[in-house]
Amino acid sequence: MRVEIWSDIACPWCYVGKARFEKALAAFPHREQVEVVHRSFELDPGRAKDDVQPVIKMLTKKYGMSEQQAQAGEENLGTQAAAEGLEYRTRGRDHGNTFDMHRLLHFAKEQGRQDELVQLLYRANFAEERSLFTEGDERLVALAVEAGLDADAARTVLADPAAYADDVRADEREAAQLGANGVPFFVLDRAYGVSGAQPAEVFARALTQAWGDRSPLQLIDDGGAEACGPDGCAVPQH
C-alpha cells in the first residue's frame, strides 16, 4: 500500500501531522508493506527567493490578525508539537520560499533518502535557532549530507533552477486535481484522502480501512496459455 503526503516545509501542521501519522503507522500490523512518498505543495509559491520575513509579521499581513493573535497561535502550535514529542520554537522563526527544498526532496527520493531529508528540514525550520532561509544553499547542502546524500550532487541540484522543477510543479498540479487546497493532505492507495493534522487514531482507522478495502487481483485466464513456474516451463506436446 502506498501513502502519499502532500506537505510544505513551512507548514507547522505538516510537521505535527507527520508525527501523528507516523505514530499510527508504527502500530500498524502491515507497516513493512506500506510505502510512504512525500509530495510537493508550496503554501507561498509566489514569494521571491530573497523575500524572508518573521513568521509573526507574515501571519499578521496574510491573515489580518494582530501580533498578539499570531503569537497566541504560535504558542498553541508549540503545545501541540510538544504533545507529539517535537521541539517547536514559538518565537524568532522566519518564513520564506521553499521551492528549492522541494526540488532537493525530489532528488532525495531518487536516492532513497527522502524521509530522512524531510524530517531534517522540518527540524531546521521549526526547532533550530538558525534560519533555514537566509544562509544560502550551503545550509541545505549540509542538511542533505546529514540525510545521507552526496554534497556535490546536492550542490549541483540547487545550482540548477530547472533541476526537478517539473517534478515539483507536477506534484502541485496533482494536488489541485485531487482537491487538496491545503496541507498536510494524505492519500492512501489513491482511494482515501485524509486532510489536516488529524489525531493518530484517525490515521490508524484510515490505514486499516484502506488496507482492508484493497481490491484483490482479478485473474483473466482461459486455461490455454503456457507459462513457467517453480517446476520449470511446460513444453507443448505435438
pLDDT digits (tens, 9 = 90+) for 23-81: 999 999 999 999 999 999 999 999 999 999 999 999 999 999 999 999 999 999 999 99
Mean pLDDT computed over 4-20:
97
Burial of 202 (0-12, 13-18, 19+ CB in 10 A): middle
d(CA 13, CA 3): 18
58, 95 Cβ separation under 8 angstroms = yes
Measured CA to CA, the distance from residue 76 to residue 59 in angstroms comes to: 14
**Is residue 153 pLDDT above 90, yes or no?**
yes
187-202 confidence digits (pLDDT tens): 999 999 999 999 999 9
C-alpha grid cell, residue 145: 549530507
Contact assessment for residue 6 and residue 39, using Cβ atoms and an 8 Å cutoff? yes
Measure the CA–CA gap between 93 and 133, rounded to whole angstroms: 10
For the segment 209-232, the average pLDDT, to the nearest whole number, is 66
Residue in 152, 134, 8 with CA at minimum distance from that of residue 142: 152
By C-alpha distance, which of 63, 77, 40 is closest to 180? 40
Q: Which of 205, 183, 201, 212 is nearest to 23 (CA)?
A: 201
